[in-house]
Structure 1
């Protein structure tokens, strides 16, 4: 498939649990997330069945319907920070480098800016995940700080970078 491949972006459904489970447990994915290895499918099914209203979760589907990635926003529900959200994004090993992350990021930032009225989107990323950092920078995320030894990965404490994208000028002008 070419870099210019178009993906269908849609809201995640409970019926996507098996596909999401495959993505989250892929060997090249789970080490860069906060997920533990060997997570059961039942946990993923429960997460999708009980998804709170402040979580806006999307999937990117290939032409054949295969779910290639998942991403979205967890909007803060506390009154003074309702203008901000945390971003999450995972792309299956087989689909990395094929435009899935960019397709999801376009949809997520559009939803944040044009439908949710968010001013700030923040995320955490392991310091050595160069591909993810480059993707986030491509969509306007900037480095804000480093959390030293924040995440345990394969028996080693790793630093995590904090990044954010601000959309204040666009919101203030409207």
Structure 2
């Protein structure tokens, strides 16, 4: 599957490339980002370099770098676990600290939902978000994702446990939101 490039008003989404490795290295070492996404894995520079160089060859996922103005990697948005039979996928977004709160993530989600429903013909896009990530939950709700459930104590938040909020959007809900 050829990975798309998507153009919005503020941002451009393009496939993740090998030269994004340094920026991704910074991203996976951001304490706030790791906390809000529940990331506990550690990575070597070599693993990150290999990931960036090869991720565009994976058939069951689309990893796109969020860029704006320059071609600099500001974050990424991913459709993974793409299942063409069930017509579903999982969505994941993470932005580098300097680019959070500027609307880039919201626009990236909207562009990728257009790709998912109009380009790939999916029926459902789901995600899970940590209950402590109030900003992300508000963004997803505003875009039209609905709460579908909660996984209790699914992640760690330091010494405490944290729930995972399961959210999803169906094709008809996406279409209805486009009419508003």
Q: Report the TM-score, using the length of structure 2 for normalisation.
A: 0.82
Unaligned regions of 5+ residues in structure 2, if any? 1-8, 176-180
Question: Alpha-carbon deviations, 1:103-139, whole Å to 9, x = none?
Answer: 2112211110111111101111011211101111122
Q: Tell me which residue corresponds to 1:62.
A: 68
Partner of 1:24: 28
Give 4+ residue runs of structure 1 displaced > 4 Å after superposition. none
Aligned length: 164
Equivalent residues of 2:38, 2:130 under 8 A apart: no
Q: In 1, Cα distance between the equivalents of 2:134 and 2:14?
A: 27
Q: The residue matched to 2:163 in structure 1 has which SS?
A: strand
SS at match of 1:54: coil
Structure 1 residue 62 displacement after superposition: 2.7
Give structure 1 stretches of 5+ with no counterpart: none
Show CA shifts across 1:116-163 (max 9, x none): 111101111011211101111122101011100001232322111000
CA distance in 1, matches of 2:48, 2:38: 14
> Do the aligned partners of 1:27 and 1:93 also contact (CA within 8 Å) in 2?
no
Q: Aligned-residue CA RMSD in angstroms? A: 2.0
Q: Partner of 1:48: helix, strand, or coil? A: helix
TM-superposed CA distance for 1:69, in Å, is: 1.4
1:67-82 superposed matches below 5 A: 67-77=73-83, 79=85, 81=86
Whole-Å separation in 1 of the counterparts to 2:124 and 2:90: 9
| 1:104 partnered with 2:108 | yes
| SS at structure 2 position matched to 1:90 | strand
TM-score norm. by structure 1 comes to 0.84
Alignment match of 1:53 (pick from 36, 56, 59): 59
- 1:154 and 2:153 matched: no
Q: Distance in 1 between matches of 2:104 and 2:69?
A: 12
In 2, Cα distance between equivalents of 1:120 and 1:77: 10
